[in-house]
Structure 1
Amino acid sequence: MLYPELFKQLEAVRWNMDTDIPWDRFDASQLTDEQAHTIKMNAITEWAALPATEMFLRDNRGDSDFCGFMSVWFFEEQKHSLVMMEYLRRFRPELVPTEAELHEVRFEFDPAPPLETLMLHFCGEIRLNHWYRRAAEWHTEPVIKAIYDTLARDEARHGGAYLRYMKRALTQHGDAARLAFAKVGVLMASARRTSQPLHPTNLHVNEKLFPRDTVQSRLPDPDWLEQWLDKQIQFDAEWEGKVVDRLLHNLSLLMGREFNSVQALNRFRKELAQKLAANDAETAATA
């Protein structure tokens, strides 16, 4: 099992909200209304770890090891929302999200293949790590800068934990896992070709609720994410390139094959799809 080891690793570096956040360094002159608004939207977005956890537990019912790890992931992700709300409670109480606003992003996700979902959230952690690093640079108020730095490190550790489960999946499922990871990897590394930010909170997950079936669409300000990325923290092509490089690097190590571009990963995906289709055809013919 991976859960006991991951629990110890994450427990050893867990930060304390009271003692590890430099609350006494707050500088009101360095916090604008615009920045405070983004913190509120981010706090609500992080609350969506709740429906994501419910999805993981439902779709991985046969995997008690991974579901055990969810107890750690869920706790730490909810703490991200909580620390942002604590920041607002202390310094901008009129912007603390209401319980109704938080509950609005708790809705059921349609069932999805567990391997693809695992890869999707691995990519999401990598992307969020880079978003938060950039947000820490954009903010000018010292306490929220420290908070974003802290959260960015958490997201990187979560990505590493998901990667451990992806390695295990290769042993358990072989090429089926490789294909699932390559397929989602191509999608998530192709943000430059899409008109929307590629992150789990911005993907459609409930057909019956469409188009209000993304986390971002259910925020008080549904356009917040794109505004935050494009106009505020300015997550430009250089930063997006860092995300893609990190995804391709990890997939190269995972698959034991060098992917120096999204195109190379896509060729690998096609090879796997053809191989598995041929195997299925051979099995059917034998039967």
Structure 2
Amino acid sequence: MLYPELFGQLEKARWNMADDIPWADFDGSRLTDEQAHTIKMNAITEWSALPATEMFLRDNQHDSDFSAFMSIWFYEEQKHALVLMEYLRRFRPELCPTEEELHAVRFEFDPAPPLETLMLHFCGEVRLTQWYRCASEWHTEPVIKAIYKHLSQDEARHGGAYLKYMKKAIERFGNEARAAFAKIGLLMASSARSGKPLHPTNLHVNEALFPNDTVQSRLPDPEWLEDWLTRQIQFDEPWEARVVGGILRNLSNLFERPIETIQALNRYRKEVAASLKETHAVPKPAV
């Protein structure tokens, strides 16, 4: 069971919103209205950990260890929303999200295969680590810079926790888990080719609600994410390369073989898929 170990590790690393955020260093002259608006959008996006947790608990009823870990992940992700809202409450109260705006991103996600969902969220944590690191560099106001640094470090730790559960899944399910992780890893590492940075919050998750079935589509400003990434924080090719590199490095360790390019990951995916197909092939009756 990983939950006791992860609880201890994350408990030691946890920051305190009252004592570890330098609220007294706020410099209003270095916060623009445009920057404050992006903080509101990120606060609401972080609130979507609520429906994500409901999805995880529903789809992982067979796994009490992982479900217990959700208590940590949910707490820390909701704290992300809370610290961003506290920043706005103190310094831009007119932009603090309303309860209705927060509730709009709580909707049901369709059931999905747990292994694929685990990998999807691992990649999401790798991406969000870099998004928040980039946001911290973009902002000019010292308090929000410090907040985004804390959030980035949290997301990196969450990615590490998901990786431990992925290793556990491989020990239990073998190539079935490898195939699921390689398939979703290839999708998430190929964001540049798809024309948009793939993240759990901008993927469609409820067929009956399409097209309003992504977290981003339910924000007050549904077009915000693309503008934030491209025009505002300028999450460009070097930043994207860090995301892809992080995914590939971790998969190399997970699969115990060097996977340095997307092409190498695709070859590995095909190899494992072929192995699974061969394993599950129905033997021909003897003549």
Relative to the length of structure 2, the TM-score reads 0.98
Correspondence for 1:258: 258
Distance 1:285 1:199, change over 3 A: farther
1:138-287 alignment, distance < 5 Å: 138-282=138-282
> Which one-letter code corresponds to 1:80 in the other structure?
H
Q: Give me the whole-angstrom Cα distance separating, in 1, the residues matched to 2:193 and 2:211.
A: 21
1:102 is paired with a residue whose SS is helix
Q: Kindly report structure 1 stretches of 4+ aligned residues shifted beyond 3 Å.
A: 282-286
Distance 1:151 1:271, change over 3 A: same
Query: What is the CA-CA distance between 1:274 and the residue it aligns to?
Result: 1.2
Q: Give me the whole-angstrom Cα distance separating, in 2, the residues matched to 1:254 and 1:23.
A: 40
> Which one-letter code corresponds to 1:122 in the other structure?
F
Q: Give me the whole-angstrom Cα distance separating, in 2, the residues matched to 1:125 and 1:25.
A: 29
2:258 is paired with a residue whose SS is coil
Distance 1:101 1:5, change over 3 A: same
Correspondence for 1:87: 87
Matched, 1:52 2:52: yes
Query: What is the CA-CA distance between 1:194 and the residue it aligns to?
Result: 1.3
Distance 1:259 1:208, change over 3 A: same
Q: Give me the whole-angstrom Cα distance separating, in 1, the residues matched to 2:197 and 2:47.
A: 19
Query: What is the CA-CA distance between 1:159 and the residue it aligns to?
Result: 0.3
Q: Give me the whole-angstrom Cα distance separating, in 2, the residues matched to 1:220 and 1:142.
A: 26
Q: Give me the whole-angstrom Cα distance separating, in 1, the residues matched to 2:247 and 2:90.
A: 37
| CA displacement 1:100-144 (0-9 Å, x = unmatched) | 000000000000000000000000000000000000000000000
| CA displacement 1:175-223 (0-9 Å, x = unmatched) | 0000000000000000111122200000000000000000000000000
Query: What is the CA-CA distance between 1:25 and the residue it aligns to?
Result: 0.2
Query: What is the CA-CA distance between 1:283 and the residue it aligns to?
Result: 5.4
1:196 is paired with a residue whose SS is coil
Query: What is the CA-CA distance between 1:145 and the residue it aligns to?
Result: 0.1
Correspondence for 1:4: 4
Q: Give me the whole-angstrom Cα distance separating, in 1, the residues matched to 2:276 and 2:196.
A: 32
> Which one-letter code corresponds to 2:238 in the other structure?
E
1:119 is paired with a residue whose SS is helix
Distance 1:92 1:283, change over 3 A: farther
1:27-38 alignment, distance < 5 Å: 27-38=27-38
| CA displacement 1:63-100 (0-9 Å, x = unmatched) | 00000000000000000000000000000000000000
> Which one-letter code corresponds to 2:17 in the other structure?
M
Query: What is the CA-CA distance between 1:228 and the residue it aligns to?
Result: 0.3
Query: What is the CA-CA distance between 1:284 and the residue it aligns to?
Result: 7.6
Query: What is the CA-CA distance between 1:282 and the residue it aligns to?
Result: 3.8
Q: Give me the whole-angstrom Cα distance separating, in 1, the residues matched to 2:148 and 2:164.
A: 25
Q: Give me the whole-angstrom Cα distance separating, in 1, the residues matched to 2:187 and 2:6.
A: 28
Q: Give me the whole-angstrom Cα distance separating, in 1, the residues matched to 2:177 and 2:189.
A: 18
Q: Give me the whole-angstrom Cα distance separating, in 2, the residues matched to 1:193 and 1:60.
A: 32
Q: Give me the whole-angstrom Cα distance separating, in 1, the residues matched to 2:257 and 2:282.
A: 26
Query: What is the CA-CA distance between 1:265 and the residue it aligns to?
Result: 0.3
Aligned positions, number: 286
When the two chains are superposed, the root-mean-square deviation of aligned CA atoms in Å is 1.0
Q: Give me the whole-angstrom Cα distance separating, in 2, the residues matched to 1:26 and 1:283.
A: 70
2:281 is paired with a residue whose SS is helix
- Unaligned segments of structure 1, at least 5 residues: none
Query: What is the CA-CA distance between 1:285 and the residue it aligns to?
Result: 6.0
Q: Give me the whole-angstrom Cα distance separating, in 1, the residues matched to 2:130 and 2:238.
A: 11
Query: What is the CA-CA distance between 1:260 and the residue it aligns to?
Result: 1.1
Q: Give me the whole-angstrom Cα distance separating, in 1, the residues matched to 2:59 and 2:240.
A: 30
Q: Give me the whole-angstrom Cα distance separating, in 1, the residues matched to 2:281 and 2:6.
A: 40
Q: Give me the whole-angstrom Cα distance separating, in 2, the residues matched to 1:175 and 1:283.
A: 20
> Which one-letter code corresponds to 2:281 in the other structure?
A
Query: What is the CA-CA distance between 1:281 and the residue it aligns to?
Result: 1.2
Distance 1:91 1:252, change over 3 A: same
Distance 1:144 1:273, change over 3 A: same
Distance 1:256 1:284, change over 3 A: farther
